[in-house]
Structure 1
């Protein structure tokens, strides 16, 4: 997993690309990045699968904020990002959420 941040000149947003390696999804057919930036909508941010099985999605996020997020594989399996800026305990279950700081 990788997160790429591209700070845009003269804008109050950062272009963020989330990348989930093929191994993470275990042969997943589809992957979504789900978090505070899309109101935890499981379908709002689908990730595009390339030929080698890697999934990517790009979103613009506001500066000076923290966002919790996770990856959802095939609508069933949840994963954190090993390269997240931080982790915070989720109030919905016995797990942590990934955090990205912009």
Structure 2
């Protein structure tokens, strides 16, 4: 799930996943962090989900995917689109 909060020049995008699906650590990697695993690791929230918030430039497009333990890459169903094997996100 994606949560968005629009600000003046940025959009805060929160990437949200269920507590243990998939199990183990998960990070979101994409053009906004030069595809660096571990740069944005999802952390537990009080409601039992895991999430990380990334501030992105307003009116921009980014590619991203999730990376879980064991080199398991997976997609976001709520992405704005899919291209070249990646999710698309418009801010």
**TM-score, length-normalised on structure 2?**
0.89
Unaligned segments of structure 2, at least 5 residues: none
Instruction: Give the direction of change, closer, same or farther, for the CA distance of 1:62–1:32 in structure 2 (3 Å limit).
Output: same
* Runs of 5+ unmatched residues, structure 1: 90-95
Partner of 1:12: 9
Do the aligned partners of 2:80 and 2:89 also contact (CA within 8 Å) in 1? yes
CA deviation after TM superposition for structure 1 residue 55, in Å: 1.8
Indicate the RMSD between aligned Cα atoms, in angstroms: 1.7
SS at match of 2:86: strand
Answer whether contact 1:7 1:15 (CA < 8 A) is retained: yes
Matches within 5 A, 1:50-89: 50=45, 54-89=49-84
Alignment pair present for 1:36 and 2:35: no
Q: Deviations over 1:26-54 (max 9, x none)?
A: xx211100000000001111110347763
* TM-score normalized with structure 1 length: 0.80
